């Protein structure tokens, strides 16, 4: 009997100790991780068919190829490694730039999408039909995801699942809010959806106008950050064409100079971009 009480006491002590440690994150809790963010960025850039893993593989391949070419031209593995790292960042930077440009263009179109939804609902269409109506009458740049929604709904008839597919194809925080408002209306009913959509349309127009003015005023800071990052590495590329200059970086001191310069460049660029660019809205309703 003493043994049984000892086991019970030990088990209780273990459970109390275990309760202080957080449980491993589930798959649903990791929706905002690197993979999800990269996937959203690829979709926003118009490269939805590319997976995050393929993007990483492409970056490594380009970085390795540039490093091989650089070592052949300069004879310095240290300089080649630096340019390989810079080249490996190229695909991700290109995706980020294209995603940002498309987000700026689409920002002006969301009020028209909301107006199309409002017109369809006011005309007496059911919610699935009103969403499909955007694929016919909405802005040309955003018609394809809504046409695919219509095809999915005709094939399955599952409104919630089709909305989830639409959200993943759009990968936009504004679209998330619109879709969740429509889902809530479908689930619980209500007669105020038209007023809600009209208010959202006015808010989106005001937000797009204000953001456009601020970004136009702060664009010089972003351009200055990019120029400040590129200038020292362009100079290094020119200097490394001479053998004696490249050989100087093969020493430990030369490698430390390049490594410290790389860290300083990244830190300065991050600070300038944080100061000169407006904070982008994150997806919280995935």
Q: Residue 27 — pLDDT band, cuts 50, 70, 90?
A: very low
- Could you tell me which residue, 78 or 194, shows the higher pLDDT? 78
Mean pLDDT, range 5-16, rounded to an integer = 68
The number of CA neighbours under 13 Å toward the Cβ of 84 is 18
- Could you tell me which residue, 25 or 44, shows the higher pLDDT? 44
> What proportion of the chain, given as a percentage, has pLDDT over 70?
84
Length, in residues, of the chain: 286
Q: Residue 59 — pLDDT band, cuts 50, 70, 90?
A: very high
217 has pLDDT over 80: no
Single pTM value for the model: 0.72
68 has pLDDT over 80: yes
pLDDT of residue 19: 62
- Could you tell me which residue, 220 or 43, shows the higher pLDDT? 43
pLDDT of residue 25: 44
pLDDT of residue 7: 65
Q: Residue 190 — pLDDT band, cuts 50, 70, 90?
A: low
User: Position of tokens 């925080």?
Assistant: 173
Mean pLDDT, range 66-71, rounded to an integer = 89
Mean pLDDT lowest among 25-39, 240-254, 264-278: 25-39
265: number of Cβ within 10 Å: 17
- Distance CA(217)–CA(223), nearest Å, equals 12
Residue 204 contacts residue 110 (beta carbons within 8 Å): yes
Mean pLDDT lowest among 53-57, 84-88, 92-96, 248-252: 248-252
Nearest to 83 by CA among 264, 276, 280, 237: 237
Q: What is the mean pLDDT of the chain?
A: 80
> What proportion of the chain, given as a percentage, has pLDDT over 90?
7
pLDDT of residue 206: 85
Helix (H) or strand (E) holding 139: none
Burial of 191 (0-12, 13-18, 19+ CB in 10 A): exposed
Mean pLDDT lowest among 210-224, 252-266, 272-286: 272-286
Residue 135 contacts residue 143 (beta carbons within 8 Å): yes
pLDDT of residue 3: 64
- Find the distance separating the first CA and the last CA of the chain, reported in whole Å: 54
Mean pLDDT, range 121-141, rounded to an integer = 85
């Amino acid at each position: 009997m003493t043994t049984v009480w000892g086991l019970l006491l030990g088990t209780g002590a273990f459970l109390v100790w275990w309760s202080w440690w957080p449980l491993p994150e589930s798959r649903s809790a990791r929706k905002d991780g690197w993979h999800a963010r990269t996937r959203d960025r690829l979709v926003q850039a118009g490269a939805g068919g590319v997976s995050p893993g393929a993007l990483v593989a492409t970056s490594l391949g380009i970085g390795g190829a540039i490093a091989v070419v650089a070592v052949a031209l300069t004879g310095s593995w240290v300089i080649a490694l630096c340019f390989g790292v810079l080249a490996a960042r190229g695909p991700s930077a290109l995706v980020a730039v294209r995603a940002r440009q498309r987000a700026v263009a689409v920002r002006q179109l969301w009020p028209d999408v909301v107006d199309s939804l409002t017109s369809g609902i006011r005309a007496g269409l059911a919610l699935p039909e009103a969403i499909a109506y955007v694929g016919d009458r909405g802005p040309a740049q955003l018609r394809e995801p809504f046409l695919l929604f219509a095809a999915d709904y005709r094939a399955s008839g599952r409104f919630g699942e089709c909305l989830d597919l639409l959200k993943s194809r759009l990968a936009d925080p504004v679209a998330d809010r619109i879709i969740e408002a429509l889902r809530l209306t479908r689930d619980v009913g209500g007669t105020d959806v038209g007023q809600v959509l009209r208010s959202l349309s006015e808010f989106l127009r005001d937000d797009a106008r204000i953001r456009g003015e601020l970004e136009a005023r702060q664009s010089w800071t972003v351009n200055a950050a990019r120029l400040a990052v590129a200038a020292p590495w362009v100079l290094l590329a020119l200097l490394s064409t001479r053998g004696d200059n490249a050989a100087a970086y093969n020493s430990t001191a030369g490698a430390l100079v390049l490594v410290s310069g790389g860290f300083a460049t990244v830190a300065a660029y991050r600070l300038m971009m944080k100061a000169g660019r407006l904070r982008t809205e994150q997806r919280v309703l995935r």
